Amino acid sequence: MSSDHGKTLSTAEHGDEPAFPLPAHRHRLTDTSPRAARRAERQVAGMFVLSALLIVAFIAAYVAIPTSTFVNLGVIGIVQLSNLILGATFGLSILLIGIGAIQWAKKLMSDEEVTDERHPLGSPQEDRDEALAAFQMGVTESGFVERKIVRRTLIGALALFPVPLIVLLKDMGPLPGDSLRNTIWRKGSRIVIDVTGQPVKPQDMGVGTLISASPEDLNTIQEEQGNQNERAKASIILVRMAPDEIRSQQSPKGATWDYQGILAFSKICTHVGCPIALYQKATHHLLCPCHQSTFDLADSGNVVFGPANRRMPQLPITVDSEGYLVAQGDFQEPVGPSFWERG
Amino acid sequence: MSITVKAAGAGVTYVDQRAPISSLLKANLRKIFPDHWSFMLGEIALYSFLILLLTGVYLTIWFKPSMTDVIYNGSFAPLDGIPMSEAYASALNISFDVRGGLLIRQIHHWAALFFMAAMMVHMFRIFFTGAFRKPRELNWVIGGSMILIGILEGFAGYSLPDDLLSGVGVRIVAGIVEGIPVIGTYLMFFIFGGQFPGSDFIPRLYTFHVLLVPGILLAMIGIHLVLVFYHKHTQYPGAGRTNTNVVGFPLFPVYTAKAGGFFFVVFGVTTLIAAFVTINPIWAYGPYVPDQVTAGSQPDWYIGFLDGALRAFPNWESVIWGHTISWNVFLPSAVMPGLLVTVLIIYPFIEAWVTGDKREHHLLDRPRNAPTRTAIGVMAISFYGVLVINGANDIIAQAFNVSFNQLTWFTRIGVFVIPPLMFIATRRFCLGLQRRDRDLLLHGRESGQILRLPHGEFIEIHTPISDEQKAVILSKIDVPVMALPVATDANGVATPKLRAKRRRARWSRAYFGDNVARPTAQELEEAAHHAHEAHAHEVHAHGAGELADAGKDH
Ligand code: HEM
Ligand code: FES
């Protein structure tokens, strides 16, 4: 051991020599009484036997109990019977092996504490010197230092080696383009009720009602594309208020975006994108269940509380020749969470 | 020689001639491991990980990581005929049509929760006892990184079944990624293979969850354990224990039986809990549809602090030169956790710089003996705690009938005020304990008995403390406070790097300035002498029968 190592471990002002010796070992009952030892032995063996029996019970339960039965365990709730019995038998069986082994260690194996010395970590100085010398020799033999051209070109080549690996990631996805700015709402798109797919007439909606809705052609498009991308952007809610309750709207001067007090807003929270549907009739507040951003639908969908910064985009609506609610066009601003290019 | 030993010997010989394991066994079979309940926390994390590997492999047998639409017609009647992704349908299939499948899912999920919890509490133990000091800094770095990776892995697993609850979680993450300045939308489109939700995410997440991350974790855990073995475990101070020895039980058989047995205990308890308490009943949430949401949705607990931060952050957003920066999303969900983890990971190096300490430490600190560190730890935990609580603000608002507004302001203020208060209180408390320790050493324990001396003075009898207790208290290391450097030395030469040295001296004072010094050898001796005298009085007084009870006399 080199002297400088000895130091790193032992320059502590104290604590190298124990100030007090290890307390004398106290014998357990199982050390002194053969009868107690035999009892402990029987206990441990008993646990192992029980563990094995529970495996048999597990197999019986596996064969006998269907997965469709549920039982009510009161406070714990409703659980699947098969899950309960399989888990209880298997779990207890495993647990008994564990407790048995620990009991064996505690009661029957030696419990006399043993002291070992620590040795300084790290290699001795000679080894470090030799390692350095060996490395030096390798460097010299390779000519890594003298042959500058080889070294530099190698570093250059290695630096470029990961480039293809990164380039290959390019096709992980298309570029965003303007896809975050558009939805499938078009001039004249019929508004249909989400669950039933029924188009809506103004007279279907009493004051104070809220409907989750989507464009009529959503399902066809979803089927064509094989994903739910358009649904994730185009979902809206329809609310009806008494026209005098509406304090402001997002429509520019001269335009009417509501239809006789029926307003359409994006359903996608402008914070980080949860769909929203908790509506308080009395206050016209819309509450996001994710982080509690609250929007006032009677006041242009503005934020009244919470971490969202932007109002809920309003969809301009009207009725078509058959009297069904339709969109006047797409949203005038991107729906959903903010993003760098949004502006 | 018993048959067992003979058979083992033959086996070892066979292997040894092909791979020399005898030397390895010789060196390690009787390696000593110290024993303490808090050393089991890391074991729980390790065993939970093994349980995750085992049950995870079973889940892969039936799980189908696909977002293709299918119509469900399995045996869970309420969802019969409903369109859903193949991933969700297969998770339902595991739950209702594979016997014991639900049990595997439940064990997997519970083990994930225990894995994260055990890692975190294990980290607290390491922090408060100073076990991260030299030579164990690397293991601290690995451990801290594993907590971060564990959070990602847990989130990935939780999202795989593609139920309504986890889908909303994925939607939130997509929104967070989208909000990252400059690269956000590109990153999101690359991750999702286009717009949210697309049809690539679940299959990609699957490889991430079952191959990439478990592989990384396995490698890290391997290094972590090899280092523990190589460093030899730290130990708590006590009689017979020093910085240069290790007192405990040999690896074989005692530690093998205890640690091996403990694996079965962890596995058994996890399985029993999985049997009785249903977790993540995905069938109750329904399939993910991007325009639906469940109210009161909660992420797994280890995500809670992020959710809490996201909920409490003020709604700041700016538009600069036509570009939107969502501070309200980016700061709480990316910058805050990034900073938290960075500070956590580099803490050992910060402390080593302040102490200027280059020694190896194998004897654990008592938290009170490192008051500033302990206070920093409690401060960090309380910061984290406030955010976790805010992550459940909807539940709390309902349970205690307070408004979101009140709760949010409580968090916004609390997150800055509570941690410093906790810091101050903890530090004081530790210093108080140090003073008490010093008194115990010098004057012994108050016996509660008052003694009247012959000349009328009252004294309380102090009984000396046990050697074991003395050994524990005397383990305290007095770190000297660095002196403030002078600008120029006696010869008028300017001190090099003066500002850096000054800064370090100030940190050193802040860390250690208030520490209560360990009694010197001389003080201890005097105290022993004193105690001896008092004892003589006591004997004398007993004779005079003037012993009175403290309670009555005060
Ligand atoms: C640290 C490691 C791991 C953590 C924290 C973790 C966590 C999770 C969680 C929370 C779930 C959701 C379970 C649920 O349905 O309620 C899950 C699902 C899943 N995990 Fe893991 N896991 C880990 C490792 C693994 C490994 C190593 C594999 C496979 C080799 C795996 C395979 C799966 C599969 C296939 C699922 C989806 C099946 C289902 O949820 O029904 N996991 N994981
Ligand atoms: S997603 Fe609506 S408040 Fe966060």
- From the list A62, A214, A103, A268, the residue with the least C-alpha distance to B171 is A268
DSSP symbols for B512-538: HTTPPPPPPHHHHHHHHHHHHHHHHHH
* The pLDDT of residue B449: 82
Say if B519 falls within a structural domain. yes
Question: At B175, which CATH number?
Answer: 1.20.810.10
| Residue tagged 């009647």 (tokens) | B77
Domain total in chain B: 2
Confidence check: pLDDT of B536 > 70: no
Taking only the tens place, the pLDDT of each residue in A168-180 is: 999 999 999 999 9
CB atoms B199 and A88 under 8 Å:
no
CB atoms A229 and B195 under 8 Å:
yes
Q: How many CA atoms lie within 13 A of B25 on its CB side?
A: 13
B52-to-A83, A248, B116 alpha-carbon distances in Å: 18, 55, 12
Q: Is the CB of B299 under 6 A from ligand 1?
A: no
Model ipTM value = 0.92
Tell me the C-alpha distance between A90 and B492, whole Å.
Answer: 79
Say if B116 falls within a structural domain. yes
- Residue in A20, A176, A308 nearest the CB of B470: A20
Nearest ligand to residue A337 Cα:
2
Q: Residues B71, B212: one domain?
A: yes
Say if B406 falls within a structural domain. no
Q: Is the CB of B64 under 6 A from ligand 1?
A: no
Confidence check: pLDDT of B357 > 90: no
CB atoms A94 and B293 under 8 Å:
no
Tell me the C-alpha distance between B451 and B19, whole Å.
Answer: 73
Count how many residues are written for chain A: 343
Taking only the tens place, the pLDDT of each residue in B116-138 is: 999 999 999 999 999 999 999 99
Say if B304 falls within a structural domain. no
Say if B364 falls within a structural domain. no
Q: Which domain holds residue B180?
A: 31-293+314-325
* The pLDDT of residue B543: 47
Say if B101 falls within a structural domain. yes
Confidence check: pLDDT of A6 > 90: no
Joined together, the tokens standing for residue A189 give 């798109």
Tell me the C-alpha distance between A118 and B35, whole Å.
Answer: 16
- How, if at all, do strands A294-296 and B323-325 pair? unpaired
Tell me the C-alpha distance between A109 and B244, whole Å.
Answer: 26
pLDDT higher at A17 or A230: A230
* The pLDDT of residue B211: 98
Q: Residues B52, B194: one domain?
A: yes
* The pLDDT of residue A5: 36
Q: Residues B318, B439: one domain?
A: no
CA distance B261 to chain A (A): 4
Say if B549 falls within a structural domain. no
Mean pLDDT rounded to a whole number for chain A: 92
**Least confident among B311-315, B510-514, B526-530:** B526-530
Confidence check: pLDDT of A14 > 70: no
Q: Residues B41, B175: one domain?
A: yes
- Residue in A21, A105, A290 nearest the CB of B239: A21
| Residue tagged 């130091």 (tokens) | A7
Residue that finishes a domain, picked among B325, B349, B378 = B325
- From the list A96, A95, A106, A94, the residue with the least C-alpha distance to A40 is A106
* The pLDDT of residue B546: 43
Mutate to test the pocket of ligand 1, among B52, B66, B224, B279 (most ligand atoms within 8 A of CB): B52
* The pLDDT of residue A16: 62
Domains (range + CATH), chain A: 4-172 (no CATH), 191-327 (2.102.10.10)
Q: Is the CB of A335 under 6 A from ligand 2?
A: no
Q: Which amino acid is at B54?
A: L
Task: Tell me the backbone φ, ψ of residue B78, rounded to 5 degrees.
Answer: -55, -25
Q: Residues B153, B279: one domain?
A: yes
Q: Residues B320, B468: one domain?
A: no
pLDDT band at B508 (very low <50, low <70, confident <90, very high): very high
CA distance B485 to chain A (A): 24
Q: Residues B140, B272: one domain?
A: yes
Q: Is the CB of B59 under 6 A from ligand 1?
A: yes
| Residue tagged 């810091």 (tokens) | B423
* The pLDDT of residue A343: 84
Taking only the tens place, the pLDDT of each residue in B442-451 is: 988 888 888 8
Nearest CA in chain B to A294: B404
* The pLDDT of residue A7: 36
Q: Residues B196, B48: one domain?
A: yes
Tell me the C-alpha distance between B502 and A237, whole Å.
Answer: 63
- Residue in B248, B294, B311 nearest the CB of A291: B311
Taking only the tens place, the pLDDT of each residue in B397-411 is: 889 999 988 999 999
pLDDT above 90 covers a percentage of chain A that reads 83
Q: Residues B215, B99: one domain?
A: yes
Say if B235 falls within a structural domain. yes
Q: Is B479 helix (H, G, I), strand (E, B) or coil?
A: coil
* The pLDDT of residue B537: 60
Taking only the tens place, the pLDDT of each residue in B37-93 is: 999 999 999 999 999 999 999 999 999 999 999 999 999 999 999 999 999 999 999
Q: Is the CB of A305 under 6 A from ligand 2?
A: no
Residues of B in contact with A50 (CB under 8 A): none
Taking only the tens place, the pLDDT of each residue in A33-61 is: 999 999 999 999 999 999 999 999 999 99
Tell me the C-alpha distance between B308 and B412, whole Å.
Answer: 10
Mean pLDDT over B279-288 rounds to: 94
Residue that finishes a domain, picked among B306, B325, B344 = B325
A303-to-A245, A286, B177, B327 alpha-carbon distances in Å: 17, 9, 22, 16
pTM beyond 0.90? yes
Q: Is the CB of A291 under 6 A from ligand 2?
A: yes
CA distance A50 to chain B (A): 14
Residues with Cβ within 8 Å of residue B65, at least 6 apart in sequence: B87, B160, B202, B203, B205, B206
Q: Do residues A233 and A268 lie in contact, with contact meaning Cβ atoms separated by under 8 Å?
A: yes
Q: Do residues B264 and A98 lie in contact, with contact meaning Cβ atoms separated by under 8 Å?
A: yes
CB atoms B324 and A73 under 8 Å:
no
CB atoms A97 and B268 under 8 Å:
yes
- Residue in B101, B263, B404 nearest the CB of A98: B263
Task: Tell me the backbone φ, ψ of residue A333, rounded to 5 degrees.
Answer: -145, 160
